[in-house]
Structure 1
């Protein structure tokens, strides 16, 4: 936690020793500074900001109007207070990966004194006050200073009629389209960036069309039209549409799996769908509210992945200065639309006209039928060892390289690189018979190298038929999936132990604050926090923790009712165990994501635990998987939105109401979309469906559910992959060693994060490989490391605008391609659209070893 520091009103005159002619103290009021002297201090501060040692604060020069607020505070801060602030910052940010090493070294010299700093008396005094003021009254991160104001206007309208109207409208549109087309291949998705851009002209249109009608209530006038469409209204609607534009509701895939196409479960009714949908969605909402102290209020919880969203809204709504930034004078607004238009046109190439630019597996073109070349360098079949794998921003942006810090991208890529080399070694040793199946595939195989036919081993009631199972085959997974599962299991326990060891003080103090708030409802949620945003937010009415606890309880009750009142074969205690385990992992997972932008994900922990607890029941396994997914996915999504509101100074109760309304709308809209799918799409989920509603992901879930739910992890682990079950213990035991080793022996490895490194091993999932991450690493190195260090002012002004514009251009261009070409089945046949899939890599089925007719691999007996 950040210790609270009371602001000092001590005059800076006693601490500054400027020449008398330039710095005077009023004889009438010796403890105040005259306006002329304050202006003199401001001017000297601006001059100091141009110095090389102040380049990490150079972004303040971009908007001197905002910086004037900080300059005024500098005049009231004493050197003694400034040194306390800097000492506190050194301690608080000691293990902060996002805190600049340049800034850390600089303030370390400042607290050691003027002689150590070595730049003269005046420079030392100004730099000390400037650093302390920026940290205490703005933010220590230039990324946050770029998107967040140090002040707040509480009178700015926020919860207006037009904001809620647009929010509900676009939540409904976004949720319906995303749910409906998530079952199509390729799918169509309205992302939050696209919806943000659409919200802005809609808000401006309503500003012109809606009459200024209103009524007075308790002395306050409530109007339909509050004047100019403002930043807080835009952010409120953004918080709402984020609910509908996020990942498709996981419940939708489950209910599709329960259609006649898969499980022939005709008992699925509207009541069951509503209860389970409501439960899974609102459970994440309730849990997110209870985690605010851990991952929303602390300033160290930066949430780098959210910053482009805030910058886009600032670009659309707020005016900016016309000052040059490293020779660039173009406004952020104009820059955004120029880049978006350019990307819209460019994406027609990799998205439709020249798709080889997207899957740029150029090394395999040398010898298209060379299996070894395809296995090592291929983009679809292989591991993706290729220096440049794509010219498609949709692929390059897969790892969010212009938002996630470079240290996070580099750590994960290093882990993935090591994992890829290990996989090559294991594959050529035919480890666990992996050489008989593709090296990196998400398909489950039988012992003849064919796709596993799970229906061949089950009874009519979806339970395992032992005799059929013994006569057919055990399930085999690719080496990529073995690497994924093993490293993921180790990562769960490693992350929990490592985060508890490294962040135990923040976790324990936040837990104490949570308990105190339950005991004393009048206690402020912000009482523990002394950062500027929390101080500004403290003036708004808070959302009590018990509100979220009630939502959590109701959603859990609805889930239990759905499991007990319908024939799901899912015991309530199993759901409670899944939830308890995931909640225990959620705090360290959310802390990790708030700092690094990496989401751990509990999808597989749910399916594995359910396989042990409810053996042989596919639907029970599937429902437990839903809760394993939603506890993490939904909770962290809602938490991230709360951080967005925190940065934007949206009143807490306004955040609560808008998320509540948006979630409720999404629950009903996604149910409606599922009904449309079931009733109006003929031959839904068939691989030959005319409109390509082939349900690719539900098919993968179907196989995984039968393998892990019916066959079960116990049979799979014991007979085929026994090392996997030990990975949980390996992760737990290695975490303390990694923590204390890094603390004591490897302090110089400041930017090495063992959690992120290990998470790189989990990236070989669902046939993803290095080809999806190599171009992202290169772009991240260029912008998040080189440009950020050398041209910070330019980076601060344009970087997040750039990533938002590129993503928006891709989104609109993809929608255009979908409507203009895919709907009419118009294709462009030429070499540039065939070459990427014409060889072994495109076939996705090459293996190192082959079987003769009648041969099989694996054990002779299995059960």
Structure 2
């Protein structure tokens, strides 16, 4: 069927004027393909198409609307019914799929007799729903940031894209690695880097058009205007640096500095081997996860959508699209959000800081202990209906709270609220001596409620039993005990529930993965009704064996490091930790791809290492960080590859870009950390004048002492035996809840992993950090999304990216202009939040120390 030459014509006289659409030819095409419709209804169908183009489904650029309308004109009724039937089965328990759309599909599947309206309305709605499902996306949030078609001729891997990607990888890695040991931490976020990449890309258009041609393909310094795909490609390269190189940031300092383990063998060779290994192992795992967590349509990965939205706002013109009466472009709206937040953040960030930590309930009676414990946001549990006017505070749990589905965020909040009541019961009943400590402290304490001083129990880096008996066992606050217990339960819970709930698609993906290696079968051979996979099938795929080879080489580098250097860590311990990651990463990736919630693997490797190498803190540190890093990096690289999938970036381009970016990231990170250790005086000391106190490194070091030196046997069997039952509870809850939803399918929307995840966010977080985000999520992701979906699609992700960029830029300016060389602003609005008990003054614990001067087990009889 011949495509209409001019389907949509747009009035360009004023950006405030609505779209003017001439749909006569498109209506003729639809009438031609729908034989039952009389030609006298052409004008009516044209009017319907006009209204549909103004609704949420087609609120897009002229080209996007034209693409979808072409598909509507070409599709037959039989094809549409087949797509509807397939989608009903495929999205039956898909919580991200709009319920109102699902109900409409059910009516369409029943036929024109059951559908409200006349036959013509049924025919049109049937085709438009089928075309949106098969040729765009089932999800409004994905349609808002992507395009229904692809142009393979758009440049991607250009010289300028690589140059900017590598340059900003070096800059971002340098800045973020340098400030990582500092408290508070200053970071170049993804949204800020995107904002800086864009003018650099536009400036590259000034380069001369010099180049050469190989096999008919021209390579030029300046292939034309800076494109959306080039921007996405460079952004994905830079995102490698945003995720960090944890082995450098934690292990190198913890192993080399004398205040920690003081290992003299931590030279450049060891650092490069272990850091390259852990970073590249992650990308190897990410590639092997593609068929499981990237290519399936239901794997939305909502947290990557703001990045796509921002780049679309920067590169794609939407001058004439109308969203609930709003005609302002995304780009201009983004600039307004950046500028507004840049100016506004000076108020809660410097001028009136009480608006940030708005613990107004405690102001009523600052020295009331019980009131502070319940509602305080400093040492308390944060039960407060109005917690902050600071975007950073409201957005603290997630860097883009709007990117997390409302149903997911709500369940996590419910878990935090359940944890609040459990924590109250633990604290006021003095469960496991928690009444002698602050209720929500992060980390281990001794029997006088002070921070656990691990140096007092060590001799030559190993546990000294006599010193231990003379000092104290480690104790956990109620909040930390709850967080650890639920974290231990969450991993087996997640694995079991995903195994029971998603075993069919996992099994099919596993068979495809095997077939891809053995028979070189493409990942899109069996994909149905997925326009993104259909577009990506045009590009050459990266063979599975390439990712397997990267993982094998990475593992070999780590083995060399452990064998050459005196780490006292066996290679088979590393193999076991790697197998744990491989076993867990796909089920946990499935959860993150659907819900936006990341189940971390920080604790599992350190516990396993504690049992394998008791009394060896260095081994625990190496295996803990290696296991956690490759899991974290795998999730990061997977999310980047999902962005590439949405943006139709060729898989081999992303593979090359990520490999090159990791190389420069490691070089810069290792260099920065070693420069800091040689040049920053009193690095990691509590009295460091530049605030490079290494809080995260100290916490990791303490954890390795707890689980490596003191050991999980002592902790789990004698000090906190309840923790080992958390694993058992996690194994039981997963299949138990699966059985419940089998009998009550409507309860399937409740994901027990999300509820447990909310409970695990205690210490140092409290309820206050969730309440502000809940208001934002409820307003934008529930109310606005339902009532004004076109506005939400066009502006929501752009707004949150603009706010984040403006806040980050403002925080950097505030830090270097008034905080770095301290210029305090002393007045009531900056002091009231830190007055009274919530600010650390007066009575701090429920129970005073006993007369003997310490609580808990008796000295000399410590477990």
Question: Above 0.5 in TM-score?
Answer: yes
Aligned twin of 1:197 = 195
Deviations 1:178-218 (A, max 9, x none): 0110111112100111000000001111111x211111222
Aligned twin of 1:558 = 557
Q: Does 1:679 align with 2:683?
A: no
**Alpha-carbon distance change, 410 to 443 in structure 1, aligned in 2, over 3 angstroms:** same
Point out where structure 1 has 5 or more consecutive residues left out of the alignment: 1-9, 24-38, 51-56
Pairs within 5 Å for 1:382-397? 382-397=380-395
Give 1:213's match in structure 2, choosing from 194, 210, 213.
Answer: 210
Conserved? CA contact 1:602–1:632, under 8 Å: yes
How far 1:750 moved relative to its partner?
Answer: 5.0
- The 3-state SS of whatever aligns with 2:759 is helix
Distance of 2:322 and 2:283 partners within structure 1: 44
Pairs within 5 Å for 1:15-414? 15-22=34-41, 41=45, 43-47=47-51, 58-208=56-206, 210-247=207-244, 249-258=246-255, 259-398=257-396, 399=398, 400-414=400-414
Aligned twin of 1:527 = 525
- The 3-state SS of whatever aligns with 2:56 is helix
Deviations 1:404-451 (A, max 9, x none): 110010000001101111110121111111101111111311122222
Aligned twin of 2:17 = none
Distance of 1:345 and 1:803 partners within structure 2: 16
Conserved? CA contact 2:165–2:235, under 8 Å: yes
Distance of 2:153 and 2:814 partners within structure 1: 44
How far 1:752 moved relative to its partner?
Answer: 2.0
TM-score, length of structure 1 as denominator length: 0.94
Conserved? CA contact 2:247–2:626, under 8 Å: no
Distance of 2:568 and 2:334 partners within structure 1: 53
Pairs within 5 Å for 1:815-826? 815-826=812-823
Distance of 1:361 and 1:306 partners within structure 2: 33
How far 1:47 moved relative to its partner?
Answer: 3.6
Distance of 2:284 and 2:573 partners within structure 1: 20
Conserved? CA contact 1:179–1:249, under 8 Å: no
Distance of 1:449 and 1:800 partners within structure 2: 44
Aligned twin of 1:713 = 712
Conserved? CA contact 1:339–1:805, under 8 Å: yes
- The 3-state SS of whatever aligns with 2:149 is coil
**Alpha-carbon distance change, 12 to 519 in structure 1, aligned in 2, over 3 angstroms:** farther
Give 2:746's match in structure 1, choosing from 736, 745, 748.
Answer: 748
Distance of 1:219 and 1:83 partners within structure 2: 44
- The 3-state SS of whatever aligns with 2:212 is strand
Aligned twin of 2:431 = 431
How far 1:248 moved relative to its partner?
Answer: 5.2
Distance of 1:654 and 1:425 partners within structure 2: 54
- The 3-state SS of whatever aligns with 1:156 is coil
Aligned twin of 1:489 = 488
How far 1:536 moved relative to its partner?
Answer: 0.6
Pairs within 5 Å for 1:823-862? 823-843=820-840, 846-860=844-858, 861-862=861-862
Deviations 1:357-393 (A, max 9, x none): 1111111111112221121111121111111211111
Distance of 1:841 and 1:795 partners within structure 2: 38
How well do the aligned residues superpose, as a CA RMSD in angstroms?
1.7
Conserved? CA contact 2:302–2:594, under 8 Å: yes
Distance of 2:574 and 2:652 partners within structure 1: 31
Distance of 1:610 and 1:750 partners within structure 2: 36
TM-score, length of structure 2 as denominator length: 0.94
How far 1:541 moved relative to its partner?
Answer: 1.1
Distance of 1:748 and 1:219 partners within structure 2: 57
Aligned twin of 1:54 = none
Deviations 1:772-815 (A, max 9, x none): 11100011000000000000011111111110110010011011
Aligned twin of 1:770 = 767
How far 1:826 moved relative to its partner?
Answer: 2.2
- Moved >6 Å (runs of 4+): none
Deviations 1:314-353 (A, max 9, x none): 1011111324322222111111101110100010111122
Aligned twin of 1:26 = none
- The 3-state SS of whatever aligns with 1:21 is helix
Q: How many residues align?
A: 828
Aligned twin of 1:567 = 566
Deviations 1:220-246 (A, max 9, x none): 221111110110110010001101122
Aligned twin of 1:5 = none
Distance of 1:611 and 1:175 partners within structure 2: 32
Conserved? CA contact 1:182–1:248, under 8 Å: no
Distance of 1:569 and 1:843 partners within structure 2: 43
Point out where structure 2 has 5 or more consecutive residues left out of the alignment: 1-28
How far 1:594 moved relative to its partner?
Answer: 0.5
Distance of 1:63 and 1:690 partners within structure 2: 53
How far 1:533 moved relative to its partner?
Answer: 0.6
Conserved? CA contact 2:358–2:388, under 8 Å: yes
How far 1:42 moved relative to its partner?
Answer: 5.2
How far 1:88 moved relative to its partner?
Answer: 0.8
- The 3-state SS of whatever aligns with 1:215 is strand
How far 1:853 moved relative to its partner?
Answer: 5.0
Aligned twin of 1:793 = 790
How far 1:61 moved relative to its partner?
Answer: 3.5
How far 1:43 moved relative to its partner?
Answer: 4.5
